[in-house]
Structure 1
């Protein structure tokens, strides 16, 4: 399996494939690959001739320097996992920060029509400017026809679709279902850092979401939110940062339910110093 660390190398390689009318898919990752990532890659392999998997811990989307420093980096293991899926049709791009940012490690400023100010945007200042910057650069470097993103980061998925729309980038964005542990915990590279007692407690997040979905059928969004907050107040190990029921198009918190709109519940919680996010479709 070919692994490139310099963008000019991969630009040349992909240009040769595109000249042969090969279909290119992209799966952007920050490495520390798990089965959720591999499910995205498998989906991409089904629909494309070649799949580029970027492995890059992007500094501009971290608002917490400690989180950036502790983020797991396991390139050798990641490449081995990808090779098990395909040795011939996967291309890995694992650049340095300087290769991507050319010595100027700052974010571009983006307008995502307000999507960037909801939920994660309220708690992680500048995060989506960092996301927009790296994804736009990866699109420019790898020129894929299709790109694959998990619905665990549902807000990010909507923002990337908005990025493509507003910047007229010729790529099809494919959202893929959340991949979960057997316990229900949404798979995340950060899960590897959970201490045993927090790992044992963490399925509470998804179980709470599932019950909130049932309650939403008969109760108002406000009442459901109050119930979730009460449940977390009784939990000793997990600290709720936010629970929001939002319109799936605007991500605006719902004030009054409408049968004409689709809603999703979003949650962020801390397990010790590790931040976990999840969401569930409500209707």
Structure 2
């Protein structure tokens, strides 16, 4: 694994790989890696001949009162984990000045309309503008054949897919299943903010999603009632709910009774941590063989 800090050097290395007809897979991260990230690396290795990972804590996607300065950074452990996979050819670790040479305030930004403004976008104004901008930049720097993202960040994945489609970027975006702890908690770098007591409560978020899914699969379609009961259950478990919404899985619009493909998006605060999760529901009858 070769560690690279400059755009020019990475492009030079990848030019040679393309010359050799290698397919390039890319996994962008913000570091503080866990098993979920490593599962993305293995997925990338399945798809491509050359695997590129990046670690960059993107200041453009953090709001004024968010945790940019305190966001966990574990560079030595991250490098060791990536090296241990035996899959990563290049680790791109640029400085902020390399990515935003004229400063963030004077930098062109990428805005994905509508789906960026709801749920996490409403709670964190400007967040998805920062995400879309850095992902677009990284995809243009790496120019991969495949880019791998986790489905835990369902709305983020949809923002990226729409950006790639709208801007005609020549990359296939692949969503990978959410990696979870044995008790169901979705793996996240922000889980490190949880105290030991909060960590014991945290699986209640996924439990609420599972229970809501079962109710919907049983035939109930009182979505507002289901959402209200879930929010109450989360409050009882010690959470401060941000949102718990049943949506059309393709558009993220509030779900209608006629919708067949649904996703429940949830975000809630538990102490200092803001946890997000989701669960997908298909109401389409399975075809008989």
TM-score under structure 2 length normalisation: 0.93
User: What's the secondary structure of 1:170's corresponding residue?
Assistant: coil
In 2: Cα distance, 1:24 partner to 1:243 partner: 37
Q: Report the alpha carbon displacement of residue 271 of structure 1 after superposing the two structures with TM.
A: 1.1
Do residues 190 (structure 1) and 205 (structure 2) align?
no
For 2:263, the equivalent position in structure 1 comes to: 264
Gap runs ≥5 in structure 1: none
For 1:73, the equivalent position in structure 2 comes to: 73
TM-score under structure 1 length normalisation: 0.95
8 Å contact 2:111–2:133 — kept in the other structure?
no
Do residues 224 (structure 1) and 223 (structure 2) align?
no
Q: Report the alpha carbon displacement of residue 264 of structure 1 after superposing the two structures with TM.
A: 0.5
Q: Report the alpha carbon displacement of residue 226 of structure 1 after superposing the two structures with TM.
A: 1.4
- Measured against aligned partners, the alpha-carbon deviations of 1:53-85 in whole angstroms (never above 9, x if no partner) come to 010000001114441111111111111001111
User: What's the secondary structure of 2:246's corresponding residue?
Assistant: strand
Do residues 242 (structure 1) and 243 (structure 2) align?
yes
8 Å contact 2:63–2:127 — kept in the other structure?
yes
8 Å contact 2:148–2:176 — kept in the other structure?
yes
User: What's the secondary structure of 1:25's corresponding residue?
Assistant: strand
- Measured against aligned partners, the alpha-carbon deviations of 1:78-119 in whole angstroms (never above 9, x if no partner) come to 1100111116x4210011100111132246444434111121
8 Å contact 1:97–1:105 — kept in the other structure?
no
Cα RMSD after superposing both structures:
1.4
In 1: Cα distance, 2:143 partner to 2:109 partner: 22
In 2: Cα distance, 1:58 partner to 1:165 partner: 23
For 1:181, the equivalent position in structure 2 comes to: 181
For 1:25, the equivalent position in structure 2 comes to: 25
Aligned residues: 279
- Measured against aligned partners, the alpha-carbon deviations of 1:205-259 in whole angstroms (never above 9, x if no partner) come to 0011100101112322112111112212323x311111011111111112x3115
User: What's the secondary structure of 2:12's corresponding residue?
Assistant: helix
8 Å contact 1:108–1:129 — kept in the other structure?
no
8 Å contact 1:108–1:130 — kept in the other structure?
no
Gap runs ≥5 in structure 2: 283-289
Distance 1:207-1:179 versus aligned 2 partners, 3 A rule: same
In 1: Cα distance, 2:184 partner to 2:64 partner: 27
